[in-house]
């Protein structure tokens, strides 16, 4: 988006503002000078005349009327006013002036929203802000459960930042079975980090003992990995010059910390990304097409308030795709339990209703809309995504 025209328009406003305020300063100085001059004459009483001050005052008055500061100020002010009223118009033209146009007038339950926000702060590790919020919004303690869950996670991750793996290993050992169930080799990855640490700073013997105690349980599934690690023993103290130097990369710590966060959230029954972040990001992608629709359908505001399905397709990036959606290419309808997707013998897929229609309820064969095959409806099978 090109913001330069808007920036220029703003620069224009601020230039006019500076001009106007320096003009005002100048004007005040000028008036002040005139008055001070008059004061000086009166004070010195040069001519000694009794009524001199009168003529000085008259003179001063005339002079000030001549300068007519107010009308002078008006000129610059007028230009400034024009710039001030132009700029918002330009903003309105370049931006979407009313993003609430596609807003349904339903009130979100404040407590639900607040709990979502509180959990969001805790899961990002912003504990003191979360506490402050829960306190200020007078939300009940239930969100605090989230706090204690995530505070353990952040203790572990913080310790990892200081290259302390003890809390992480402890947690992984305690949840070893569940991690295996998820197909995660996080525990081995943590041991690998520790092993490399020992190799770099400690003795070969120590590393060997560590490997014996901790690698053995993983031998069955991760033989190759362990063999590689054992080969590292040959380069104790000079791993950086070995073929395995990539094991030393600091990035390994970050990836393992990420994996730990992912697994930790998973075991808590939570998503890896904050659900609030995901929803708001989806909102930023989804709102523009909705606003466009509302602009076109200005008269149908009433209908919008009660629609059961969005009137326009909203395409989101694939990171927001959590479910399989099948849209029948013939009827353009989304599949349902009553109208499931069916695989035709040629490999193309249509919805059951479309197949029924084209085969006149299985009474005749029909041509596949995508290839020259003749389809027998009874040979179509239901798909499960």
Q: Are strands 374-375 and 381-382 parallel, antiparallel or unpaired?
A: unpaired
CB of 139 to other proteins, least distance (A): 10
Q: CA-CA distance, 119 to 113, in Å (whole number)?
A: 10
For 179, other C-beta atoms within 10 Å of its C-beta total: 21
Q: CA-CA distance, 214 to 185, in Å (whole number)?
A: 13
Output the CA torsion 216→222→223→224 (10° steps): -140
- Residues binding other proteins: number (CB under 8 A): 131
Output the CA torsion 323→327→333→339 (10° steps): -80
CB of 332 to other proteins, least distance (A): 7
CB of 299 to other proteins, least distance (A): 19
Pair 255, 192: CB distance under 8 Å:
no
Work out whether 5 is an interface residue with other proteins (CB under 8 A): no
Work out whether 36 is an interface residue with other proteins (CB under 8 A): yes
Nearer to other proteins by Cβ, of 8 and 240: the residue is: 8
Phi (first) and psi of residue 374, to 5 degrees: -95, 130
Work out whether 127 is an interface residue with other proteins (CB under 8 A): no
Residue numbers 85-124 binding other proteins by CB under 8 A: 87-88, 91-92, 94-100, 102-104, 106, 108-110, 112-113, 115-117
CB of 90 to other proteins, least distance (A): 10
Q: Judging by beta carbons within 10 Å of its beta carbon (0-12, 13-18, 19+), is residue 282 exposed, middle or buried? A: middle
Residue numbers 312-341 binding other proteins by CB under 8 A: 312-318, 320-327, 329, 332, 334, 336
Q: Mask: binding to other proteins, 50-79, rule CB under 8 A, as x and -?
A: x-xxx-xxx-xx--xx---xx--x---x--
Residue numbers 262-291 binding other proteins by CB under 8 A: 266, 269-273, 275-288, 290
CB of 63 to other proteins, least distance (A): 9
- Those residues whose C-beta lies under 8 Å from the C-beta of residue 77, and which sit 6 or more positions away, are 20
Residue numbers 172-211 binding other proteins by CB under 8 A: none
Work out whether 234 is an interface residue with other proteins (CB under 8 A): no
Residue numbers 341-370 binding other proteins by CB under 8 A: 343, 345-349, 370
Work out whether 43 is an interface residue with other proteins (CB under 8 A): yes
DSSP code of residue 359: T
23's enclosing H/E stretch is helix 4-44
């Amino acid at each position: 988006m090109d913001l330069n025209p808007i920036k220029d328009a703003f620069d224009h406003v601020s230039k006019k503002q500076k001009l106007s305020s320096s003009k005002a300063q100048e004007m005040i100085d000028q008036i002040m000078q005139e008055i001070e001059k008059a004061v000086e004459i009166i004070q010195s009483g040069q001519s000694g005349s009794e009524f001199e001050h009168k003529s000085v005052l008259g003179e001063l008055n005339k002079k000030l009327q001549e300068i007519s500061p107010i009308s002078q100020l008006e000129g610059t002010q007028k230009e400034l006013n024009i710039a001030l009223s132009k700029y918002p118009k330009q903003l309105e033209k370049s931006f979407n002036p009313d993003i609430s146009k596609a807003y349904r007038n339903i009130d979100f339950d404040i407590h639900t929203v607040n709990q979502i926000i509180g959990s969001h702060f805790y899961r990002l590790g912003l504990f003191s802000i979360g506490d402050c919020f829960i306190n200020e919004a007078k939300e009940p303690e239930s969100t605090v459960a989230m706090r204690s869950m995530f505070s353990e996670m952040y203790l572990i991750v913080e310790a990892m930042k200081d290259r302390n793996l003890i809390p992480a290993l402890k947690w992984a050992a305690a949840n070893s079975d569940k991690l295996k169930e998820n197909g995660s080799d996080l525990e081995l990855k943590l041991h690998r980090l520790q092993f490399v640490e020992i190799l770099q700073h400690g003795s070969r013997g120590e590393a060997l003992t560590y490997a014996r105690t901790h690698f053995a349980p993983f031998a069955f599934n991760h033989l190759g990995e362990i063999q590689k690690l054992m080969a590292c023993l040959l380069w104790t103290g000079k791993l950086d010059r070995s073929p395995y130097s990539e094991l030393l990369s600091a990035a390994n710590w970050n990836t393992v910390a990420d994996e730990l966060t992912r697994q930790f959230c998973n075991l808590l029954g939570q998503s890896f990304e904050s659900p609030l972040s995901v929803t708001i990001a989806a909102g930023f992608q989804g709102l523009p097409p909705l606003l466009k629709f509302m602009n076109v359908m200005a008269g149908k505001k009433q209908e919008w308030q009660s629609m059961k399905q969005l009137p326009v397709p909203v395409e989101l990036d694939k990171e927001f795709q959590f479910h399989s959606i099948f849209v029948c290419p013939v009827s353009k309808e989304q599949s349902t339990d009553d109208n499931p997707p069916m695989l035709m013998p040629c490999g193309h897929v249509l919805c059951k209703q479309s197949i029924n229609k084209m085969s006149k309820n299985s009474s005749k064969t029909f041509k596949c809309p995508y290839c020259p095959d003749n389809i027998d409806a009874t040979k179509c099978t239901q798909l499960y995504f």
